[in-house]
A = this chain, B = another copy of it.
Amino acid sequence: MSHQTPAPGALDAPGGPVGALGNPPERILMLPGPSNLHPRVRQALGAPLVGHKDPYFLELMERVTAQLRCLFQTVYSATFALPATGGSGMDAALINLLEPGDAVVVGVCGFFGERMVDIAQRVGARATVVQSPWGQPLDPEDIRRALERSEAKVVAVVHGETSTGVCQPLEEIAHAARAQGALLVVDAVASLGGVSLPCDALGVDVCFSGSQKCLSAPPGLAPITLSPAAMARILGRRQRVPSFYFDLTLHARYWSTEHIYHHTAPVLNVYALHQALCLIEEEGLEARFARHRLHARAATAGLEALGLHLLPEPAHRLASVLAVLVPEGVAEAPVRDVLATEFQLDISGGLGAYAGRLWRIGIMGHSAQRRNVALLLNGLEVALRRQGYHPRPGAALEAAEAVYAGAG
């Protein structure tokens, strides 16, 4: 690690000042986050900065918390945006709910499930891991048995596993959690706002996400919601939360109508999130979910017409992230390079065990558009042909168009 060797710092640099880097390129983001920003969201970032105690900002917080309740489909008021990027919700949820020695059941069927185990162990909890192979969802029966045996009062699963493109059904897991009196924690970083997740109806106790995925706000905020039972567990801890910044009881007070000061909010990020949530409100949640499904189906039809296969079975595919297996004889990274350099379109590679074996394509928020799907399929066809892989010309676009025509 470079920090071990104190490198000659910029202070000593003979070249003098570091200097400004030129402007960033304009990319089409079909990554599993971040997604492209709507012009209104970009515009919101340019509005005048106010202080974090300004009456305008306090009113904005109240709008945003109400909007987030709609998004999470919850009536609970401990619903707000943590002042840190997507990954922070997982940390905050587990650090607050778990104490040293506590039992927790963690479902692992991909990279982010593994991270939950890591965090649970960091705080000294006893994690019982329930696994399924990458690309398959968890078996709720396994969760039920693990809860019974471990007597854990918390179970944590990933709703949209962005590393595998799997959408985890939650009904039966929620049922198992309720039966054991355990709180259900759901990572919805890759799904919230793109895939239906009615927290109250399902019985989700803690759900967290990121601003930069299906919400299409800039990265920098982590929406989160807690049920009264989850908050009661935190208030009843034996030891205090080992972090001031992530103490969720303090965030709940800051976002309540009392607005008790806790931190300097990332004010401009909240402006942008508010606009992104206004756009969601205008579109309507159901219409938005349908849009994500439509573009995911069209893209999938095109990918299959190219002869490609998705990792998960059709029944468990996440609309917001398509995990596409790299075919035999094709090199993964050069295909992305063609898309990136010749089409200014970004997709992602695989994580962990699937590095080099998957492409991961985001169908998220403002990026989920017909013209982007068309360009993606066109670019993939060109890139695959470079590697001697010959799909039937135009088949991918034709298959996608058939989906759009059917939906028309």
List A residues at the B interface (Cβ < 8 Å): 1-13, 17-21, 23-27, 29, 31, 33-34, 36-37, 42, 45-54, 56-57, 59-60, 63, 66-67, 69-70, 73-78, 83-88, 90-92, 95, 115, 118-119, 121-124, 210, 212, 218-220, 226, 228, 231, 239-246, 249, 252-253, 256-258, 262-269, 271, 274-275, 277-278, 281-282, 346, 348
Give the residues in chain B near A257, CB-CB below 8 Å.
2
One of B46, B87, B88, B264 near A34 (C-beta < 8 A): B264
- With A66-B18, A75-B8, A90-B244 known to touch, is A3 a contact of B122 (CB < 8 Å)? no
CB distance from A14 to the nearest CB of B (A): 13
Contact A76 B6, CB 8 Å, known A20-B278, A47-B24: yes
Dominant secondary structure of chain A at its interface with chain B: loop
Which of B42, B90, B218, B348 is A267 in contact with, Cβ under 8 Å?
A: B218
Closest CB-CB distance, A359 to chain B, in whole Å?
14
**Bound CA–CA A348/B75 (angstroms):** 34
User: Which of B8, B23, B48, B242 meets A24, CB within 8 Å?
Assistant: B48
Q: How many copies does the complex hold?
A: 2
Q: What are some 15 contacts across the A-B interface (CB < 8 A)?
A: A1-B253, A3-B76, A9-B70, A9-B74, A11-B70, A11-B74, A19-B281, A27-B48, A27-B51, A34-B52, A46-B46, A50-B346, A122-B242, A219-B264, A242-B242
B88 and A245 form a contact (CB under 8 A):
yes
CA distance A245 to B76 in the complex (A): 26
Taking a contact as CB atoms under 8 Å apart, the answer to whether B83 and A122 are in contact is no
Compute how far the CA of A24 lies from the CA of B271 in the bound complex, rounded to whole angstroms: 9
CB distance from A288 to the nearest CB of B (A): 13
With A27-B48, A86-B264: A244-B115 Cβ-Cβ less than 8 Å? yes
A76: which B residues are within 8 A, CB to CB?
Answer: 3, 6, 9
Q: How far is the CA of A2 from the CA of B24 in the complex (A)?
A: 43
CB-contact partner of A256 in B2, B74, B83, B266, under 8 A: B2
Residues of B within 8 A of A244 (CB): 87, 90-91, 115, 118-119, 122
- With A91-B244, A122-B242, A240-B121 known as contacts, the answer to whether A268 contacts B46 (CB < 8 A) is no
Contacts of A46 in B (CB 8 A): 42, 45-46
Q: Are A11 and B75 in contact (CB under 8 A)?
A: yes
Chain B residue nearest to A48 in the complex (CB): B26
Q: A51 to B245, Cβ gap below 8 A?
A: no
Inter-chain contact B77/A9, CB cutoff 8 Å = yes
Rounded to whole angstroms, the CA-CA distance of A20 and B95 in the bound complex is 34
**A19 partner residues in chain B, CB cutoff 8 A:** 63, 278, 281
How many angstroms from the CA of A124 to the CA of B124 in the assembled complex? Answer: 13
B256 contacts A21, CB within 8 Å? no
